[in-house]
């Protein structure tokens, strides 16, 4: 099993696109909810039941963060990055709008006309955390499927860990399907350990959940590890935009 995981990881590293996507982490706003629900549904069907995002927006025991495309990034910067690996194209009498081009780049249809409003999005992923005593519990984390593998999930995790540390939580916990090795790897990177199993936790296929918990996050040791991981992240992805948490 370990060998299979290693092979998949090597393959992934070889083919992974490393383009930076200009997202910023900030708190969920009411206008984001429809997009977040769509990402939630895509990620967690068939067990999907919409979370109470609206009700919990002002709940002090919950923290909802989103990865949002940065409107402050200059169109020239993004267009230059997007165009850098494309062959020369026919001259376009009317350059497509920025978002239409970003969407096209990531495999979405982009008609660039008045009828394409439904295609326009600015939320790439979200994370929801509940504070329970000394524990911060990740209830959900998900990235839009076409944008996965580009550091957005990790940035969301960093944002939620920062928030939990500031909140005074001592550990962060979560449950994940035993088969969700992508999520396990993300959490292991931030020193989550498997501490138990909830048998038949998921009702669609009665799959077990693994309970994962960080080592204490309010210690100098974790601080050093966390700062190091953020620095590595920044070197790799060239950004670390966390506006609010």
What angle in degrees, to the nearest 10, is found between the helix axes of 152-167 and 220-237? 150
Angle of CA points 59, 64, 66, to nearest 5°: 150
* In the complex, least distance from residue 199 CB atom to ligand COA, rounded to whole angstroms: 17
CA of 8: how far to CAs of 1, 72, 172, in Å? Answer: 11, 36, 28
User: Where does residue 55 rank: exposed (0-12), middle (13-18), buried (19+ CB within 10 A)?
Assistant: exposed
Active site residues: 175, 187
Cis upstream peptide for 46 (omega within 30°): yes
Of residues 78 and 137, the one with the C-beta less far from ligand COA: 137
Of residues 142 and 165, the one with the C-beta less far from ligand COA: 142
Of residues 180 and 230, the one with the C-beta less far from ligand COA: 180
Beta carbons within 10 angstroms of residue 171's beta carbon:
18
* In the complex, least distance from residue 83 CB atom to ligand COA, rounded to whole angstroms: 23
Kindly state the DSSP code that residue 131 receives in the 8-state scheme. Answer: E
Residues engaged in binding ligand COA (CB under 6 A): 9, 12, 43, 141-143, 148-154, 174, 176, 180, 182-183, 185-186, 189
* In the complex, least distance from residue 114 CB atom to ligand COA, rounded to whole angstroms: 32
Identify the three-state secondary structure at position 239: coil
Nearest to 190 by CA among 230, 238, 134, 139: 230
Chain position whose Cβ is nearest to ligand COA: 153
* In the complex, least distance from residue 123 CB atom to ligand COA, rounded to whole angstroms: 13
């Amino acid at each position: 099993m370990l060998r299979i995981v290693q092979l998949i990881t090597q393959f992934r590293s070889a083919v992974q696109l490393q383009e930076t996507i200009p997202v910023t982490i900030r708190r969920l706003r009411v206008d984001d909810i429809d997009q977040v629900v769509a990402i939630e549904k895509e990620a967690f069907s068939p067990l999907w039941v919409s979370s109470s995002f609206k009700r919990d927006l002002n709940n002090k025991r919950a923290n909802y963060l989103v990865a949002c495309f940065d409107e402050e990034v200059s169109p020239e910067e993004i267009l230059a990055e997007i165009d850098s690996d494309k062959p020369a194209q026919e001259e376009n009498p009317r350059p497509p709008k920025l978002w239409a081009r970003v969407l096209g780049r990531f495999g979405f249809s982009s008609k660039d006309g008045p009828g394409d409003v439904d295609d326009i999005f600015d939320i790439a992923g979200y994370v929801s955390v509940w504070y329970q005593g000394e524990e911060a519990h990740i209830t959900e984390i998900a990235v839009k499927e076409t944008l996965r593998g580009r550091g957005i999930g990790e940035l969301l995790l960093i944002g939620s860990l920062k928030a939990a540390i500031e909140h005074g939580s001592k550990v962060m916990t979560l449950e994940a399907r035993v088969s969700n090795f992508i999520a396990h790897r993300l959490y292991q990177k931030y020193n989550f350990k498997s501490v138990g199993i909830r048998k038949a936790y998921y009702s669609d296929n009665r799959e077990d959940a693994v309970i994962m918990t960080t080592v204490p996050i309010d210690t100098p040791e974790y601080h050093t590890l966390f700062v190091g991981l953020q620095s590595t992240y920044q070197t790799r992805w060239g950004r670390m935009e966390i506006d609010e948490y």
